[in-house]
């Protein structure tokens, strides 16, 4: 299967979790892939996995919340593969707290990674897309960018910002053959989520209670998100832009 043949994709937060799953899915579908993130060891593990599949990949160590790093990641991708046609803004962080429990430092960190990072990466990618004659941005937002949840004030604000940034960019850049969409997952089985539930009876009860809120009766899997990202990056979705797609087992439909 080569649904992404000819595509060159840059995936942030590409060393673990959703980013890793998306990178492997893109490589399987024929894309050339650059994985970016702060942990070189994890990025290199993904690079090795893709090379074992026969894919073409490079790893770029960077901090998406730094403008110079964002620009360098785009330049290095173009230098390696000759162009950039897909950006997946996946890097993210979680903070569990209400407003009065959130320090200014924590607020700034969440907003920097979850909202400023995609802004900087997208800004850097636009010139590359123009050189390529068009491009696609896939933002990994959250169902909490559509609805609220207790103890997630900064996270909801950051993901809500990313969801509306998606729509604004879609309107601004459609005439340049640049599409922008976002995926809004509910809770997905990743390393980040595993830390939310202690390995004891209380943690198991909290996990079961969380699953009980999802009509389809299970948490998401990284592959669920990766397959939707493939669709949004492919020509199969060529008339889709500005969409914020709930991928949440029915949670937001209730």
For the CA atoms of 148, 151, 157, 159, what is the dihedral angle to 10 degrees? Answer: -70
Two tokens, residue 130: 């123009």
How many CB atoms neighbour CB 40 within 10 A?
13
Per the annotation, the verdict on 176 as an active-site residue is no
Q: Active-site residue among 138, 155, 158, 249?
A: 155
For the CA atoms of 44, 122, 168, 142, what is the dihedral angle to 10 degrees? Answer: 20
d(CA 202, CA 198): 7
Q: Are the CB atoms for 181 and 240 separated by under 8 Å?
A: yes
Strand partners, 37: 61
Torsion 180-184-190-196 (CA) sign: positive
Active site (catalytic) residues: 155
């Amino acid at each position: 299967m080569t649904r992404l043949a000819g595509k060159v994709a840059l995936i942030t937060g590409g060393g673990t979790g959703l980013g890793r799953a998306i990178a492997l899915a893109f490589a399987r579908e024929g894309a050339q892939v650059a994985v970016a993130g702060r942990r070189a060891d994890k990025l290199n593990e993904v690079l090795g996995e893709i090379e074992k599949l026969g894919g073409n990949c490079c790893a770029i160590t960077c901090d998406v919340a730094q403008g110079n790093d964002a620009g360098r990641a785009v330049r290095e991708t173009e230098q390696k593969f000759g162009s950039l046609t897909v950006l997946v803004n996946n890097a993210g962080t979680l903070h569990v707290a209400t407003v009065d429990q959130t320090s200014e430092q924590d607020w700034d960190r969440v907003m920097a990674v979850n909202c400023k990072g995609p802004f900087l990466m997208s800004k850097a990618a636009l010139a590359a897309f123009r050189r390529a004659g068009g491009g696609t941005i896939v933002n990994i937002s959250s169902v909490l960018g559509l609805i609220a949840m207790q103890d997630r004030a900064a996270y909801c604000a950051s993901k809500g910002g990313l969801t509306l940034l998606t729509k604004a960019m879609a309107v601004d850049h459609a005439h340049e053959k640049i599409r922008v969409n976002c995926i809004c997952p509910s809770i997905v089985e990743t390393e980040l989520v595993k830390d939310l539930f202690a390995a004891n009876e209380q943690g198991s009860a909290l996990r079961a209670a969380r699953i009980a809120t999802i009509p389809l009766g299970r948490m998401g899997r990284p592959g669920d998100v990766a397959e939707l990202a493939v669709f949004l990056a492919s020509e199969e979705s060529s008339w889709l832009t500005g969409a914020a797609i709930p991928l949440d087992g029915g949670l937001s439909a209730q």
